[in-house]
Structure 1
Amino acid sequence: MKKVLIVTAVPETVNAFLTAYISELSKHYEVHVACTLNDQHALKSLSGNVVTHNINIARQPSIFEDLKSLFQLYRFFKHQNFDSIHSFTPKAGLLSQAAAWLARCPNRLHTFTGQVWATKKGIARLGLKWLDKLTATLTTICLADSHSQKDFIVAEKVVNPTKCHVLASGSISGVNIDKFKYSANAREQLRTEYGISEDNFIFLFVGRLKYDKGIPELIAAFEKLNFSQPAKLFIIGKDEDNLLPLVSNKSDVIFAGFKTNVPDFYSFADVLVLPSHREGFGNVIIEAAACNLPAIASNIYGLSDAVSHEYSGLLHQVKNENALASCMQRLLDSPELLATYKKQARQRVEEVFAEPILVNAFLTFYKAHLKEHSPK
């Protein structure tokens, strides 16, 4: 049985996106998972026949720590003699692909889930872009989690178009449509908890509070709206760029902080808003769509795959608060259009992004790839 290794920097990536993939792979291969394990229960979602390994990969750049990780990975790969090594996230990708190349692993895979350099300029953009190009060069094959992202990194000459693939219609792992579905009870309970009546229109943002998530434009756009009915903007996530002052003293903008019951908030809200400046795909959009929640999002690579414009939501010009406000106003004032988008959003997820579709595509890709690239 072939030995397959999945490498990520942190266990959260595995738990959030890769459990279904790993579960299916383990039926056909000997599967190992390596990441930084500070907690022995960090990967408790994995089945018992998956072997886990603690490999420290620092999230922040550190030449000394990164060289230590590279050497540790190289020794680990040489000892285990894996048939395939598959990395996710940029830091884990660069270090594990370099170590896998040095260890002469025959199958080296990396999944691109967005480019941190896409919105940067000057030396920072050139340096980070070069690191992604190096990662791609070290692989035998790679994946992008959206078709528009693949087009972008091919156009930027980061990857060879014949070497890069997208699973099905994209997304890192699809959506568990049994977990993510509309709940009238959750809507009622949360509205009762926050003292919000059913006639209030709720815009929802879910994600890290960062400038490149478009938070300043979102606040500005919300304040431009002409309210034909009571409306509020709920923001869920961790504040990473000290943006809370933007929402202070604004009674209709509620910062709810980090939440573990995000699917309930998708039912609680009326529209998801994601005005990001960069995204690999935007899984939050299709998770929300599975809960009958349409989205307004920036018309950028990744998000343009997650939202079908004028079908499951609306796309607006990136970094344009007036265009964003126009989309928000349109859905606020158009209950019949909103109801149509809600229905179609769920339908599109079921047809295109349901988890079994992506899992089947992932397994098919693995079977073809390992057969094609394995030594004779």
Structure 2
Amino acid sequence: MKKALMVASVASMIDLFNMNNIEILQKLGYEVHVACNFEEGSITSDQRIKDFKEELKQKKIRYFQLPIPRNIFKIKEIFTSRSLLSKLILENDYDLIHCHSPIGGVVARSAAKKFRKKGLKVIYTAHGFHFFEGAPIKNWLLFFPIEKYYSKYTDLLITINKEDYELSRKKFHSKHNKYVPGIGVDVNAISNQQFNRSNLLQELGLSEKDFIVTSVGQLSVRKNHQVVIKSLPLLDDKNIKYIICGLGELENELKKLAANLGVIEQVIFTGYRSDISRILAISDCFVFPSLQEGLPVSLMEAMATPLPVVCSNIRGNKDLITNEENGFLIDQSDENLYAKSMQKLLDNPNLRKKYKTNNLMDIKNYDVEKINNEMKKIYSTINNR
């Protein structure tokens, strides 16, 4: 039986973004293994990681712990992970490695170098390079040379947004480059879900009269939730409620900010939720102020719900949202623009309807079935490349 190894920095990357890929590989006759850091760094809860391990066992997927860090300056952990992965490749004689995330990609491609001479194929999916138009110069100085160097040891480089694809195609040395727009979303399941709306509203302390704005993402600097919190006092409407779904190191800081601005009763911190699609379905608007993205799944899920969108004018978001066609693309740091955009949606039901209709139409291009078919073609032909 052919063997494939899925590698990422953290377990949540496999759990949230690669189970479809694993299922495709299994259907193609591969025995699939997983290697990543199960012990720290994931953006989901500890209980979710525990449950995920059990699900892997049930699916007969062997998994291995690697101490891959999320910080590129933790050199010791990176070298330890590389050594452990090299041993794993030698012991299991893999035919294919599919790696993800910047550090996971470096560890995997470094470990796989000598094995490629024996026929091992390496696919690397970049879920959004750290260097992009408008990124800090330090990101270009540090991450660009690393990605360019390791592209030499990549049989297929997959990028998930158009900006990254054009850059990799022109600047990198990978044998082949492919644009695949993310992992896709199940448009039909999201847009036609059935559940008890009243129960969920009650659980979250909300009512039918509230105008519900929702964001999804780790409570981190990168996700930029504070700009939306700062916009709430400018709206001066206590019926506007802001749901933030996610865990992260900035939770206390964001709660303190909301309290200091007098809007703490309008902000609901849900923590990690497994029912994001339902929370989106009770919402009136999706706000996504992120500073950096590849091709955000949560934004695609919001489009499939469907919801009107207010989001930052950055790479990835621009692939999905056209300003004043299916949402607003605005400066990520301007709370005044966030307030004005949300007010326009609040005041104009016809505008909300227009954006919802357009989003449901546009997101069909990113349906999971289309993406899965593309990945099946890639896995089926990788040995011929």
TM range (shorter): 0.7 to 0.9
| Aligned with residue 216 of structure 2, among 206, 216, 237 | 206
Deviation readout 1:153-212 (Å, 9 max, x if unpaired)? 557x4x359732112xx12x1112354235564432222334433222111111112222
Contact 2:122 2:155 in 1 (8 A): yes
Please identify runs of 4+ aligned residues in structure 1 that moved more than 6 A: none
Deviation readout 1:333-362 (Å, 9 max, x if unpaired)? 11111123223323333x211111100011
Q: Is 1:192 the equivalent of 2:206?
A: no
2:31 aligned counterpart, secondary structure? strand
Task: Name the CA shift for 1:185/1:317 in 2 (closer, same or farther; >3 Å).
Answer: same
Deviates further, 45-54 or 66-75: 45-54
Deviates further, 136-145 or 113-122: 113-122
Distance 1:352 1:47 in 2: 33
| Aligned with residue 87 of structure 1, among 66, 79, 99 | 99
Distance 2:269 2:57 in 1: 36
1:210 aligned counterpart, secondary structure? coil
Letter matched to residue 113 of structure 1: H
Contact 1:296 1:316 in 2 (8 A): yes
Contact 2:151 2:174 in 1 (8 A): no
Distance 1:49 1:234 in 2: 34
Contact 1:201 1:269 in 2 (8 A): yes
Q: Is 1:347 the equivalent of 2:361?
A: yes
- The answer for the alignment partner of 1:52 in structure 2 is 62
- The answer for the alignment partner of 1:75 in structure 2 is 87
2:291 aligned counterpart, secondary structure? coil
Distance 2:184 2:3 in 1: 25
- The answer for the alignment partner of 2:75 in structure 1 is 63
Letter matched to residue 65 of structure 1: E
| Aligned with residue 286 of structure 2, among 266, 272, 276 | 272
| Aligned with residue 377 of structure 2, among 364, 368, 374 | 364
Q: CA deviation at 1:87?
A: 0.1
Deviates further, 48-57 or 360-369: 48-57
Q: Sequence identity, in percent?
A: 24
Equivalent positions of 1:103-122 (< 5 A) are: 103-104=115-116, 105-118=119-132, 121-122=136-137
Distance 1:130 1:285 in 2: 30
Q: CA deviation at 1:46?
A: 4.8
- The answer for the alignment partner of 1:98 in structure 2 is 110
Deviates further, 283-292 or 9-18: 9-18
Q: Is 1:10 the equivalent of 2:10?
A: yes
Letter matched to residue 157 of structure 2: C
| Aligned with residue 240 of structure 2, among 226, 231, 242 | 231
Contact 1:276 1:297 in 2 (8 A): yes
- The answer for the alignment partner of 1:132 in structure 2 is 147
- The answer for the alignment partner of 1:313 in structure 2 is 327
Q: CA deviation at 1:302?
A: 0.7
2:207 aligned counterpart, secondary structure? coil
Letter matched to residue 356 of structure 2: K
- The answer for the alignment partner of 2:164 in structure 1 is 149
Letter matched to residue 255 of structure 2: L
Q: CA deviation at 1:312?
A: 3.1
Distance 2:91 2:33 in 1: 15
Deviates further, 214-223 or 183-192: 183-192
1:214 aligned counterpart, secondary structure? coil
Distance 2:218 2:38 in 1: 23
| Aligned with residue 310 of structure 2, among 296, 321, 337 | 296
More helix by share: 2
Q: Over aligned residue pairs, what C-alpha RMSD do you find?
A: 2.6
Distance 2:376 2:60 in 1: 16
Q: CA deviation at 1:305?
A: 1.5
Task: Name the CA shift for 1:189/1:303 in 2 (closer, same or farther; >3 Å).
Answer: same
1:348 aligned counterpart, secondary structure? helix
Distance 1:182 1:239 in 2: 31
Q: CA deviation at 1:34?
A: 2.1
Deviation readout 1:309-345 (Å, 9 max, x if unpaired)? 4343221133233333232222111111112322332
Letter matched to residue 372 of structure 2: V
Deviates further, 192-201 or 204-213: 192-201
Task: Name the CA shift for 1:43/1:371 in 2 (closer, same or farther; >3 Å).
Answer: farther
- The answer for the alignment partner of 1:245 in structure 2 is 256
Deviation readout 1:1-22 (Å, 9 max, x if unpaired)? 5432221223322221211221
Contact 2:157 2:174 in 1 (8 A): no
Task: Name the CA shift for 1:60/1:162 in 2 (closer, same or farther; >3 Å).
Answer: closer
Q: Is 1:287 the equivalent of 2:301?
A: yes
TM-score of the superposition, structure 1-length normalised? 0.87
Contiguous gaps of at least 5 residues in structure 1: none
Deviates further, 264-273 or 110-119: 110-119
2:190 aligned counterpart, secondary structure? coil
Contact 1:282 1:302 in 2 (8 A): yes
Task: Name the CA shift for 1:51/1:206 in 2 (closer, same or farther; >3 Å).
Answer: closer
Number of equivalent positions: 365
Deviation readout 1:216-268 (Å, 9 max, x if unpaired)? 222222322264x8312122211323333112242222323222221111011
| Aligned with residue 263 of structure 1, among 250, 274, 277 | 277
Letter matched to residue 363 of structure 1: K
Task: Name the CA shift for 1:137/1:221 in 2 (closer, same or farther; >3 Å).
Answer: farther
